[in-house]
Amino acid sequence: MKRALIVGINYEGTGHALRGCINDANNMKSMLQSQYGFTEIEMLLEKAATTDAIKAALARLITGAKVGDSLVFHYSGHGSQLPSTIEADKWEEIICPIDINWKDKVVTDDFFKQTFSKVPVGVNLTVILDCCHSGTGLDQDETYTPTLTRDFNSGVEFDYFTGLAVNPEVGSRFLPPPQFVVDQIKSNHLEIYEYSTSRDVNKTAMLIAGCAPHQTSADAYIDGKFQGAATYALTQHLKVNPKSSYIDLITVMNQFMVDRKFTQRPQLDGSFRLHAEKVFESWPTALFPVVVAETSPSIPTGGTTTTPTKPPKKRKGWQSWLPCFKKDRAISPKLNKPTMIFIALVVVFALVVLFGSK
């Protein structure tokens, strides 16, 4: 099964409108269909991309997935950060649905992690986030950004707090939270719904982030129309090189940013052992030879199972000093020597008492 969910939001009619996200979504759909044979593709565009709709669509994306399947989630729109009580860097990365209210109408990186952790090991899950602060969007343990010899990291610059670009033909996909929201969160007057999970998505999920966690992603005018710099670099490369590996793809995307003088640096998160695998293709079974259900105990190959036996109960009271007597049994059929001596003494004592009283 090859299934995808694509979300694109331009925020038309708002004070923070973008111009290239719908184009990104359409370009991704076209590429997945023509180059990779995806037939199940759900699109959420503009006003349809509400918080509830995105969360429900993510649930549908992963439902029924099994080993050998390939799933893709692509998002183009605004990204942002909010103060966090559980993140190591004290910031919670979020994407911004069309109905964002900065409290419960947000989609956090912890929600992504909680959702995608339900995907069985052995399913190729590729997440592409073309928005600001997208790096570490799944809170994975391993991350990679290639170092390029010509990477001078200069060119388009953005103001962090306004999200405005120095170059008027390039916009930022950063939506700053209202200052009163930041103040309320920091003073504990406003609760952001965060999720934590003991599971992770380190084994089979790959995140292609448009930029590093501290960077913004460009909404740029490229080749005659507005589109995301990261999505453009990705789709253009894969149209010509559909058998590209993940590490080759992220290297080409970074080289594109350097050549076009964008400051963002795309990032690849996920297991290093998957970097050389082909983009969107099923993981080789050799990488996951044994997949054990989470609720089932693992049994060593060739081993056997045994039913644990209860330890013997300690004797209590009279049982401790008279070993021939046991619970639910009068006298043991096997009497040891100390027991026989004890019984003989008791009999003698009883006879002495009996005849001595006469």
Q: What is the DSSP string of 136-198?
A: TTT--S-EE----TT----S--B-TTT--BSSTTEEE-B-PPPHHHHHHHHTTSS-------S
What's residue 309's pLDDT? Answer: 37
Helices assigned H by DSSP within the chain: 21-36, 51-62, 109-116, 179-186, 229-240, 246-259, 318-321, 337-356
Q: Lowest-confidence range among 78-82, 260-264, 321-325, 352-356?
A: 321-325
Domain with CATH 3.40.50.12660 in the chain: 2-287
Q: What is the CA radius of gyration of the chain?
A: 33
pLDDT tier at 268, thresholds 50, 70, 90: very high
Length of the chain: 358
3-state secondary structure of 59: helix
Helix 246-259 with 229-240: angle, nearest 10 deg: 130
What's residue 93's pLDDT? Answer: 86
Torsion of CA 153, 154, 160, 163, to 10 degrees: -120
Q: What percent of the chain has pLDDT over 70?
A: 68
Q: Record the tokens describing residue 354, joined without a space.
A: 């009996």
Q: What percent of the chain has pLDDT over 90?
A: 45
Q: Record the tokens describing residue 124, joined without a space.
A: 């190729």
- 134 or 40, which is more confident? 40
Q: 26-68, pLDDT tens digit by residue?
A: 999 999 999 999 999 999 999 999 999 999 999 999 999 999 9
Measure the CA–CA gap between 211 and 133, rounded to whole angstroms: 6
Torsion of CA 283, 284, 286, 288, to 10 degrees: 20
pLDDT tier at 154, thresholds 50, 70, 90: very low
Helix 51-62 with 109-116: angle, nearest 10 deg: 20
- For residue 178, pLDDT over 70 is answered with no
What's residue 191's pLDDT? Answer: 47
Q: What does pLDDT average to over the chain? A: 77
- For residue 80, pLDDT over 70 is answered with yes
Helices assigned H by DSSP within 198-309: 229-240, 246-259
- Kind of pairing, strands 2-8 and 40-45? parallel
Closest CA to 319 of 301, 309, 331, 306: 331
What residues act catalytically? 78, 132
Q: Record the tokens describing residue 121, joined without a space.
A: 């090991």
| Range 186-203 average pLDDT | 49
- DSSP letter at 308? P
| Range 76-82 average pLDDT | 89
Q: Record the tokens describing residue 353, joined without a space.
A: 């008492």
Q: Lowest-confidence range among 44-48, 110-114, 156-160?
A: 156-160
Q: Lowest-confidence range among 19-33, 242-256, 270-284?
A: 270-284
Contact of 146 with 226, CB cutoff 8 Å: no
Q: Is 2-287 CATH 1.10.3090.10? A: no
Closest CA to 87 of 178, 194, 175: 194
- For residue 127, pLDDT over 90 is answered with yes
What's residue 253's pLDDT? Answer: 96
pLDDT tier at 340, thresholds 50, 70, 90: confident
- For residue 257, pLDDT over 90 is answered with yes
Looking at the DSSP assignment, which residues form a beta bridge with residue 83? 91
Measure the CA–CA gap between 197 and 173, rounded to whole angstroms: 28
What's residue 163's pLDDT? Answer: 42
| Range 157-169 average pLDDT | 40
Kindly report whether the global pTM for this prediction surpasses the value 0.75: no
Q: 136-148, pLDDT tens digit by residue?
A: 778 787 888 887 6
- Kind of pairing, strands 124-130 and 107-108? unpaired
- DSSP letter at 329? B
What's residue 143's pLDDT? Answer: 84
pLDDT tier at 160, thresholds 50, 70, 90: very low
Q: 291-311, pLDDT tens digit by residue?
A: 544 332 333 333 333 333 334
Measure the CA–CA gap between 153 and 264, rounded to whole angstroms: 8
- 122 or 86, which is more confident? 122
Q: Lowest-confidence range among 5-14, 30-39, 274-283, 299-308?
A: 299-308
pLDDT tier at 335, thresholds 50, 70, 90: low
